[in-house]
C-alpha cells in the first residue's frame, strides 16, 4: 500500500494458482464456482484486468452481465452477515464503465451490508450516470445528526464519505445545501469528503484551501486522504503544498497527476501552459 | 532526527555509514535529511551506498537510489540499470529510471561513455513501454536528460533520432494524459535548445 502509486481500496488478495493466465471467459465462469473464495477473487480480477487493459466489446459486456448477477449472490456470507462477493462485484462494476450496471447498483444502496452500500456508492460515483442521484441522497436522510458511529463497528450508519464523494463527482448541485453541514462532521474523513464535494459543487477556493490546510495535520492517514482529495478535485493552487507535504512520494505524485490532468482538460492551445509545466516540474522532483 | 541532521550538516566522510543506516529507519523526515547529507558528500558516498544497498527494505533502497541518482556518478550505472528494470518496488524503479538519464557522462572516457549511453538509451526505450504510467513518465524525464547529453557528445546521430522518434510517439499516443503531456514538455524543452536534430 505504501509503495503503491494508486492508493487502492482493495483488500490484499492472494492469487489462486493458475489465475495469472485466466482468460476473461474463464474468470466469468469462476464467478459461479462452488469455491466462494474463487468467486471473490474472480470479481476482483475482472475489475482489475478489464478496468485497466480493456477487451473486446462482447467479452466486456459478458463480464458486466455476470458481475451484475453477482450483485445478488447469497452463497458467500461473512460471520456478520456481509456479502463479500457483492462488494467486489460492485467495485469491479465501478471500473468497467458500463452504465447498464446503474440500476442494479442502485438496488445495492439498500443492502443491509454497509460495505456493499459503500462499494455501490463509489461505483455509482465513477460511472457518471446522474439518474442515481435521488437514491444517493436518500442515504443522507437525517443529515449530520443521523450520521453516527454504529456501536461496536468501525463505521457510521451509512457510507457517508462514499455517498458525498459520489454526489460531488456527479456534480449534483442540488445537493449543495445537504452536503454543506457535513463539512463540520466530527469524523475527519467525512469532513474532507464533504469539503472536496463542496469544492466540486461550488468551485469556491475556500474549500480547496481547507484541504491544503489539512496537509499540515498530524495524522499521516489524514494527510494522505487530503492529498487524494486535492488530486481528485484538481485544485491547482495546491501544487507546491502537495509537493512539500510530509507524505510518501507516491501519494504526492498521484495527487499532482490529478492536478495536471485537470489542468490539461482546461487547455485550449497546442502549447502547455505555465501551470502544467510547473506541476510537471514538481512531479519530476518526486520520482 | 536531530542526530541525523547534525550528521548530515557535518559533511564528514566518517558519518557516511550512519547516514546510510538512517535511510532504513522508516522515518521519512530523517531519510530525506540523510539523502541530502549523502548528496552533499557526493563522490565519496557512492561506493558505500553501492555496497550497502538494502535488498530487504525497499523504502531504504528507494532513498539510496535517489541519493545515487542525484550524485549522478556513473559508477552507479549498473546498480541503477538493474533497479530501473528489475526492482519490484515502484518507488525504486521510478528513481532509478530518472537517474540513469542524467549521469555525469563527462566522468567517463569517450569509449566507455558511448557504451554506457547505449545501455541507458536501450533501457529507457524499454521502460517507456512499461504498463505503469509512472515508469513511462520517469522514462520521459530520463530521455529528455539523455537527449541533452547526447546532443553535446554523441558522434553517432542514430541514437538521437531513435530517442526523438520515441518521444514524439509518446507525445502523440501515450494512453496516460500526464505521460503524454510530459513528453510534449520534453519536446518543447529540446526545441528551445535549438537542436533541430532532437525533435522529430
Per-residue model confidence as pLDDT tens digits over B32-58: 899 999 999 999 999 999 998 888 888
Asked if A6 is an interface residue toward chain B (Cβ–Cβ < 8 A), one would say no
User: Any long-range contacts for A209-217 (C-beta under 8 Å, 24+ apart)?
Assistant: A209/A237, A210/A183, A211/A235, A211/A238, A212/A237, A212/A238, A212/A241, A215/A241, A215/A242, A215/A245, A215/A247, A216/A245, A217/A188
Q: Return all residues near A109 (Cβ < 8 A) that are at least 6 apart.
A: A117, A120, A121, A124, A135, A136, A138, A139
d(CA A138, CA A134): 6
Question: Which of B83, B133, B178, B186 is the best substitution to test chain A (most A C-beta atoms within 10 A)?
Answer: B178
Residue B71 has pLDDT above 50, yes or no: yes
| Average pLDDT across chain B, whole number | 90
Q: What's the pLDDT tens digit per position in A110-155?
A: 999 999 999 999 999 999 999 999 999 999 999 999 999 999 899 9
Number of domains in chain A: 1
Residue B195 has pLDDT above 60, yes or no: no
At A264 the pLDDT is 95
> Which residues 247-266 on chain A approach chain B with CB closer than 8 angstroms?
247-250, 253, 257, 260-261, 264
Residue of B nearest to A277 (CA): B185
Q: Rounded to two decimals, what is the model's pTM? A: 0.86
- From first to last of its 287 residues, chain A has per-residue pLDDT tens of 344 444 444 445 677 877 878 899 999 999 999 999 999 999 999 999 898 777 789 999 999 999 999 999 998 899 888 999 999 999 999 999 999 999 999 999 999 999 999 999 999 999 999 999 999 999 999 999 999 999 989 999 999 999 999 999 999 999 999 999 999 999 999 999 999 999 999 999 999 999 999 999 999 999 999 999 999 999 999 999 999 999 989 999 999 999 999 999 998 877 899 999 999 999 999 99
More confidently predicted of A225 and B195? A225
At B159 the pLDDT is 84
CATH label of the domain that carries residue A24: 1.25.10.10
Torsion sign across C-alpha atoms A131, A136, A137, A138: positive
Using the 8-state DSSP alphabet, how is residue A13 labeled? -
A194 found inside a domain: no
At B66 the pLDDT is 94
Give the model's confidence band at B10: pLDDT under 50 very low, under 70 low, under 90 confident, else very high.
confident
Q: Which cell numbers in the block locate residue A77?
A: 456470507
A20 found inside a domain: yes
A112 found inside a domain: yes
A105 found inside a domain: yes
At B152 the pLDDT is 79
Residue span of the structural domain in which A53 resides: 8-125
A60 found inside a domain: yes
From chain A, the residues in CB contact with B181 under 8 A are 260, 264, 272, 276, 280
At A245 the pLDDT is 94
A16: how many CB neighbours lie within 10 A of its CB? 15
- What is the number of H-type helices and E-type strands within chain A? 16, 0
A45 found inside a domain: yes
Determine, for residues B90 and A2 on separate chains, whether the beta-carbon distance falls below 8 Å. Answer: no
Residue B6 has pLDDT above 50, yes or no: yes
d(CA B30, CA A105): 46
Give the three-state DSSP class for A72. Answer: coil
A162 found inside a domain: no
Q: What's the pLDDT tens digit per position in A253-273?
A: 999 999 999 999 998 877 899
Q: Are B120 and B105 in contact (CB under 8 A)?
A: no
A166 found inside a domain: no
Amino acid at each position: 500500500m505504501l509503495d503503491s502509486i494508486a492508493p487502492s481500496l482493495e483488500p490484499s488478495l492472494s492469487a489462486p494458482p493458475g489465475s495469472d493466465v485466466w482468460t476473461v471467459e474463464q474468470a466469468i465462469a469462476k464467478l459461479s464456482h462452488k469455491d466462494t473464495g474463487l468467486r471473490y477473487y474472480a470479481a476482483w480480477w475482472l475489475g482489475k484486468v478489464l478496468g485497466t487493459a480493456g477487451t473486446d466489446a462482447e467479452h466486456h459486456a459478458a463480464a458486466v452481465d455476470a458481475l451484475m448477477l453477482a450483485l445478488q449472490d447469497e452463497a458467500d456470507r461473512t460471520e456478520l452477515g456481509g456479502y463479500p462477493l457483492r462488494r467486489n462485484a460492485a467495485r469491479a462494476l465501478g471500473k468497467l464503465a458500463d452504465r447498464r450496471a446503474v440500476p442494479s447498483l442502485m438496488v445495492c444502496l439498500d443492502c443491509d451490508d454497509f460495505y456493499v452500500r459503500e462499494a455501490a456508492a463509489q461505483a455509482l460515483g465513477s460511472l457518471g450516470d446522474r439518474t442515481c442521484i435521488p437514491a444517493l441522497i436518500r442515504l443522507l436522510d437525517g443529515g449530520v445528526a443521523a450520521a453516527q458511529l454504529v456501536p461496536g463497528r468501525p463505521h457510521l450508519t451509512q457510507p457517508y464519505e462514499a455517498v458525498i464523494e459520489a454526489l460531488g463527482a456527479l456534480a449534483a448541485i442540488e445537493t449543495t445545501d445537504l452536503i454543506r453541514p457535513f463539512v463540520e462532521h466530527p469524523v475527519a474523513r467525512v469532513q474532507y469528503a464533504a469539503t472536496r464535494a463542496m469544492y466540486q459543487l461550488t468551485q469556491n477556493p475556500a474549500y480547496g484551501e481547507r484541504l491544503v490546510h489539512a496537509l499540515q495535520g498530524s495524522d499521516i492517514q489524514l494527510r494522505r486522504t487530503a492529498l487524494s482529495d486535492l488530486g481528485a478535485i484538481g485544485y491547482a493552487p495546491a501544487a507546491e503544498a502537495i509537493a512539500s507535504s510530509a507524505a510518501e512520494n507516491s501519494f504526492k505524485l498521484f495527487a499532482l497527476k490529478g492536478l495536471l490532468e485537470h489542468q490539461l482538460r482546461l487547455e485550449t492551445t497546442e502549447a502547455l501552459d505555465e501551470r502544467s509545466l510547473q506541476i510537471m516540474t514538481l512531479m519530476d522532483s518526486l520520482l | 532526527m536531530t542526530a541525523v541532521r547534525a550528521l548530515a550538516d557535518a559533511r564528514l566522510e566518517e558519518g557516511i555509514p550512519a547516514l546510510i543506516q538512517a535511510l532504513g529507519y522508516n522515518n521519512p523526515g530523517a531519510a530525506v535529511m540523510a539523502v541530502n547529507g549523502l548528496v552533499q558528500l557526493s563522490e565519496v558516498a557512492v561506493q558505500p551506498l553501492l555496497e550497502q544497498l538494502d535488498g530487504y527494505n525497499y523504502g531504504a533502497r528507494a532513498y539510496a537510489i535517489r541519493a545515487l541518482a542525484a550524485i549522478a556518478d556513473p559508477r552507479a550505472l549498473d546498480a541503477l540499470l538493474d533497479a530501473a528494470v528489475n526492482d519490484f518496488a515502484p518507488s525504486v524503479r521510478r528513481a532509478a529510471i530518472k537517474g540513469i538519464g542524467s549521469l555525469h557522462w563527462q566522468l567517463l572516457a569517450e569509449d566507455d561513455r558511448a557504451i554506457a549511453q547505449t545501455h541507458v538509451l536501450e533501457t529507457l526505450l524499454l521502460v517507456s513501454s512499461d504498463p505503469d504510467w509512472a515508469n513511462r513518465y520517469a522514462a520521459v524525464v530520463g530521455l529528455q536528460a539523455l537527449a541533452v547529453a547526447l546532443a553535446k557528445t554523441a558522434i553517432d546521430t542514430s541514437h538521437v533520432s531513435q530517442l526523438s522518434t520515441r518521444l514524439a510517439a509518446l507525445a502523440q499516443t501515450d494512453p496516460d494524459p500526464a505521460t503524454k503531456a510530459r513528453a510534449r514538455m520534453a519536446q518543447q524543452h529540446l526545441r528551445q535548445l535549438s537542436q533541430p536534430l532532437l525533435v522529430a
